[in-house]
A and B are shown apart, each in its own frame.
Chain A
């Protein structure tokens, strides 16, 4: 049938099973928005306050569903406002298709109004990007973009479309997308070598990452870990990929991971990395990380092999397949002695906790109180900073895709958009956003979106009135010179919420926390809870950057 470019975009989105997109209109996407108007019964468009919010919403949508997130923005500033959201998705391997309008073909390359080379700008933060200059190429480019975003190691793809292409007519024929199959890259010999190393190991540990969640391989990982009786540490990105209540689960590994995972890393004789990339926040000292251990790495991305640390054996392919096959290749093993040792470390990892105070609420108390009000299926979103690390330490994640956080890029301001995307995608689940006053200030404009769509998100602001994480580093490494981390803001978040038409509440101390949280959860409507916590609260324990667990900081002040 003969359609214009914008209708072709809508049809191609439908081909891919897309029923929800996030975005913000503008001059260069007028045609696209006209088509969205026509297709509004089939495609729901969620309008954000700012394109950045829309990009994080598409990301949150993708993380909590496993589907590809879609975001639309206009040319120029609309497109550049997506950049942080695309980079966030890229660093965490989140599938996303970003569609930007551009000026018409004849105005390209002339510094026209709202023209920007968004393909050039996003080149290092996308898996691939396209500019479509001819409507005849449009449908196939969109199909290719989804395939690239969703196959292999997932990630964002951008399609830039000049305005005249969105208006030009072209013959369109529906194409059923073929199922994405990630071929097994490793041959049997890789599995045999890995199995042999595993058999010889007396003290193995699994270091899992976001790849487990991305590949939906939680069941396969659980079976594998149980079969070889191996303790599991998770990166911040991997949380939810292995049940926190499981006896083999040790907690997070790395800078703010526990003593237990740190000691296990230093003393184990084998690290099995599963969908994890040895980032500097995990392997602070690349040369000493697992220095007494052999390393087996399971990943889908060959370029991760020997990138940060030298490994002994790699198994390449979709984790769902490789974990299953590896489980089949090894026999059941028991490591009672080693596990007893790991548990012993677990008992000793207690950080000196701040004594209870009447003036402030304690972040751990807030997080644990929220946990009592949520089910294992509910979704927890965070921003970036101290609150994010506290949640990663204390909230017990049992299921994959219930955890949304900017792990790689560390994007303050990520949370509001991501919570919106999560809530839109999961109307049957509770969505809780933990944020800090610093992060919340960045993108609280999206409260307007939360209200417009009446998304029942519980927004918990752990408000210490300072930029806590940077301040903590200033305490530790900059002689307590608190440069620009005490902004002296007087924002009344409850009043701000009310201004947006959202219920606002305040928690002043631990004693009232549980009651107020219970009331907030019972509302079943958007709510902002301003939790007053101490500006001097720290994230502990902490392995200083570039160091190992030997230099673990367990108390400050």
Chain B
């Protein structure tokens, strides 16, 4: 099975930087399944978190990213030395008979009900990508009507930062 790797990218907050990164991903054929962008907490910088699916591509991915002038740093965030988290909003088909079952399932994942429709329940949950995968798998039994995931945000544990100084 292929191993997924999370990569943290510190980029200059210039117009077009997202295009530069995604264009590179596309033309070099990198296989990714999550990309998020947000302020980095450092003046003038944004942080991208990208999850790549293919072990053999990681070295090239980092080396190619580092060639983009606006990319300051690109590093693998090792699974055991980082925290990764994302948020999902999921609308599940429900009726009077299964409503309580569904809520029971979601409470195990600390998901909260954010909206109750006539024939649906909408939950918000956050956690590691694999926790959310499990939640979604369990909910799919009842029928997922629609869903939005934010993609992964990740930071290294301990005092170490992507950008030192």
Contacts and interface: CB of A to CB of B under 8 A. Distances in A.
A160 to B, nearest CB: 11
A120 B19 contact: yes
A179 B63 CA distance: 25
Interface stretch (B64-72, B103-111, B145-153): B64-72
Interface in B21-57: 23, 27
B63 A305 contact: yes
Contacts of B63: 302-303, 305
Given A119-B16, A120-B19, A128-B69, A303 B27 contact: no
B11 to A, nearest CB: 13
B130 interface: no
Contacts of A306: 59-60
A274 B157 CA distance: 40
A124 interface: yes
Nearest to A124: B27
B49 to A, nearest CB: 21
Interface string A97-131: 00000000000000000000001100110011000
Given A305-B63, A306-B59, A123 B69 contact: no
B19 A302 contact: no
Interface residues of B, number: 14
Contact of A123 (B19, B66, B67): B19
Contacts of A148: 69
B137 interface: no
A377 interface: no
Kindly state the interface size class of chain A when it binds its partner: 10 to 19
B4 interface: no
A301 B67 contact: yes
Contact of A124 (B23, B59, B67, B69): B23
A127 B69 contact: yes
A307 interface: yes
Nearest to A119: B16
A124 B23 CA distance: 7
Nearest to B27: A124
Contacts of A123: 16, 19-20, 23
Nearest to A129: B16
A148 B69 CA distance: 8
A93 to B, nearest CB: 12
B70 to A, nearest CB: 8
B56 to A, nearest CB: 9
A307 B60 contact: yes
Contacts of B68: 128
A158 B63 CA distance: 22
B16 A303 contact: no
Nearest to B64: A303
Nearest to A133: B15
Contacts of B27: 124
Contacts of A128: 68-70
Nearest to A123: B23
6 contacts: A119-B16, A120-B19, A123-B20, A124-B23, A303-B64, A306-B59
Given A123-B16, A303-B63, A303-B67, 9 more contacts: A120-B19, A123-B19, A127-B67, A127-B69, A148-B69, A301-B67, A305-B59, A305-B63, A307-B60
> Considering the complex of A and B, which 6 residue pairs feature the smallest CB-CB distances, nearest first?
A303-B63, A128-B69, A302-B63, A303-B64, A123-B23, A124-B27
